[in-house]
Structure 1
Amino acid sequence: MAKKYRVGQFVKVKVTGIQSYGAFVKTPDNRDGLIHISEVMNDYVHDVNQYLSKGQIVKAKIVSIDEDGKLSLSLKENEYFKNEEKKRDKRSVLEKIRETEKYGFQSIEERMPAWIDDAIARMNE
Structure 2
Amino acid sequence: MTAETPIKIGNIVDVEITGLQKYGAFVKFGKSRGLIHISEVQSGYIADIHEVIETGQIKRAQIIDIDDYTGKISLSLRTLEKQPQSHHIQRKFHFNNPNNKIGFQPFKDNLSDWTNEQMAYLKKVKSEQL
TM-score, normalising length: structure 1: 0.58
Aligned residue for 2:76?
A: 74
Look up the match of 1:57.
58
Aligned partner letter, 1:19: Q
Instruction: Provide the secondary structure at the position in 1 that maps to 2:17.
Output: strand
1:19-98 map, 5 Å = 19-27=21-29, 29-67=30-68, 68-79=70-81
2:24–2:36 Cα contact (<8 Å) kept:
yes
SS of structure 2 residue aligned to 1:43:
coil
Give the structure 2 partner of residue 12 of structure 1. Answer: 14
- Matches for 1:104-115 after TM superposition, within 5 Å: none
SS in 1 for 2:25: strand
Q: Which protein shows a greater Rg?
A: 2
C-alpha separation in 2, matches of 1:3 and 1:21? 29
Q: Using the TM superposition, give the Cα deviation of residue 30 of structure 1 relative to its aligned residue in structure 2, in angstroms.
A: 2.3
3-state SS of the aligned residue for 2:50? helix
**Residue number in structure 2 paired with 1:95:** none
User: Residue 49 of structure 1: SS of its match in structure 2?
Assistant: helix
Calculate percent identity across the aligned residue pairs: 45
Structure 2, gaps ≥5 residues long: 86-98, 100-130
Deviation at 1:41, TM superposition (A): 1.4
Alpha-carbon RMSD = 2.2
Displacement of 1:38 in angstroms is 0.5
Gaps of 5+ in 1: 86-99, 101-125
Q: Secondary structure at the match of 1:77?
A: helix
Matched residue pairs, number?
82
Q: Is the deviation greater in 31-40 or in 3-12?
A: 3-12
> Secondary structure of 2:78's match?
coil
Measure, in 1, the Cα distance between the counterparts of 2:25 and 2:4: 23
Deviation at 1:20, TM superposition (A): 0.3
> Which digits, 9 at most, give the CA deviation of each residue in 1:55-90, with x for residues without a partner?
1110001110113332100111334xx59x9xxxxx
Shift of 1:3: 4.3
Q: What stretches of structure 1 move > 3 A for 4+ residues in a row?
A: none
